[in-house]
Amino acid sequence: MRGVVVAGTASGVGKTVTTLAVCRALEREGYAVQPAKAGPDFIDPSHHAAVVGKPSLTLDPWLEGEDGMRRTYARGEGDICVVEGMMGLYDGDTSTARVAALLDLPVVLVADARAGMQSVAATAYGFRTYADRMGIEADVAGVIASRAHGGRHAEGIRDALPEELPYLGRIPPSDDLEIPERHLGLHLGDEAPLSDEALDAAADGIRADALAEVARKPEWNTEEFEAGIRAESSQATDSDGPTVAVARDEAFCFVYPSTLDRLESLGTASYFSPVAGDDLPDCDGVYLPGGYPERFAAELASSTTLPALADRAADGLPVFGECGGLMALTESLTTTDGDTHEMAGILPADVTMRERYQALDHVELRATDGTLTADAGETLRGHEFHYSSADPATDARFAFDVERGTGIDGREGLTEYRTLGTYAHVHPESGAFDRFVSRLAD
């Protein structure tokens, strides 16, 4: 599968809208598109899925390892993979430039053209040459001008670009192309999708065939490598494997598609909605992903699902909650309005929402004892981004020491019975979900 990375000169230049317009433009030209996201984000991929109609791949070398990230890429299906970058091209120690270099994919640079013409070309040229200074093999191979008018404005940018940096189109300035934001990022794709009319208008400005020519197949993605991935994917689901009940609704919506695929390949995933008050399915274990439990705290507090889950957890049912899942497993959740709602009461802590984020980083955890997702002494990599703080009881037990990141008072993984709750999100390429499922038979 060929691919291209859509990267920005900075955060806020319109990468997500540009990525969606590129996907729409390529599809209109008959290309099958596989969307993807560099980094650990859950929200941008929801917009990809809303437009393309298939799950977006997560490509993050910290979460997955370099080989794991490449395996994730190779599992994609389509003619061209369109990877949305994170922040500015060179920002962060796990930057978009590094992801593009490790995947051997060309970069299409999104430059904000609201107040520039020739200077947009100068900026793009600087980003191309800066790769050598950084020692990163990032191939900036084309430019899309964001918030650029047509006519003389677009022509001035196009004519100023050097031959080695082709002009691949523009995104017009339009209020219809603005996606609302809240804490943790943009609204989700199914909450605030761009209208088809606005997206089609944006796609009209993309030179789809020229962009398709820029896309290339990575050299590492050989026929032998792809054959191995196909053989792995063709293995039948273990119908005799354990059943994992997975919370899926507006409160528990941050889950990597690869996680669900892995759980379904290791056994059976049975979905339920705590917000709707669904009965807990017959299962061998429970997984509560992250999301927005604070937005649905009243519904969760009044539902019969969390008390039933607490009873089963006290009986020894393994339960794993990540971030929002952790919050739902604690004693109480207090919103920014000051309203306190009872949660499941399994983990000995109270959670309070804050006005600004409390943690945002890739994390590395070391298990102090064997737990649901790691053996004693083993390290586990993940990502944390949350606006809440947890106040654990003085006798609370933790499963991990934090070697990088914030966690909960420098520790991580509240544990009680056979329940584990972490602020950290992990990817299945870490092996965490394989270990979780293996523990269900213990």
Classify residue 143: in a domain, yes or no.
yes
53 and 189 both lie in a single domain:
yes
Residue 175: what pLDDT?
82
pLDDT bracket for residue 237 (50, 70, 90): low
386 and 431 both lie in a single domain:
yes
Residue 235: what pLDDT?
64
Is 323 a known active-site residue?
yes
207 and 320 both lie in a single domain:
no
Predicted TM-score of the model (pTM): 0.94
Residue 191: what pLDDT?
57
Mean pLDDT value across the chain? 93
331 and 184 both lie in a single domain:
no
For the chain, what is the domain count?
2
For residue 29, what are the CA distances in angstroms to 1, 15, 55, 217?
Answer: 17, 21, 21, 19
Distance CA 415, CA 397 (A): 6
268 and 351 both lie in a single domain:
yes
Residue 428: what pLDDT?
97
∠ CA 297-300-302 to the nearest 5 degrees? 110
Domain boundary among 156, 188, 223: 223
Classify residue 231: in a domain, yes or no.
no
Domain boundary among 159, 192, 223: 223
* Among 23, 81, 283, 323, the one annotated catalytic: 323
Distance CA 412, CA 414 (A): 6
Classify residue 49: in a domain, yes or no.
yes
Strand order across the 340-342 sheet: 340-342, 332-334, 349-353, 388-392
Classify residue 228: in a domain, yes or no.
no
246 and 198 both lie in a single domain:
no
Distance CA 89, CA 99 (A): 10
Distance CA 271, CA 201 (A): 37
Residue 102: what pLDDT?
97
Q: What's the domain range around 154?
A: 2-223
Residue 182: what pLDDT?
47
128 and 275 both lie in a single domain:
no
217 and 248 both lie in a single domain:
no
142 and 274 both lie in a single domain:
no
The tokens describing 202, both together, are 């944006």
185 and 259 both lie in a single domain:
no
Distance CA 256, CA 275 (A): 20
The mean pLDDT value for 182-203 works out to 72
320 and 400 both lie in a single domain:
yes
Residue 44 has pLDDT above 50, yes or no: yes
Q: Are 142 and 211 in contact (CB under 8 A)?
A: yes
Residue 22: what pLDDT?
98
What CATH number does the domain containing 15 carry?
3.40.50.300
Classify residue 334: in a domain, yes or no.
yes
Classify residue 65: in a domain, yes or no.
yes
Taken as a whole, the chain contains a residue count of 442
Q: Are 243 and 270 in contact (CB under 8 A)?
A: yes
Domain boundary among 199, 223, 247: 223
Classify residue 419: in a domain, yes or no.
yes
Classify residue 69: in a domain, yes or no.
yes
Distance CA 343, CA 325 (A): 11
Residue 409 has pLDDT above 50, yes or no: yes
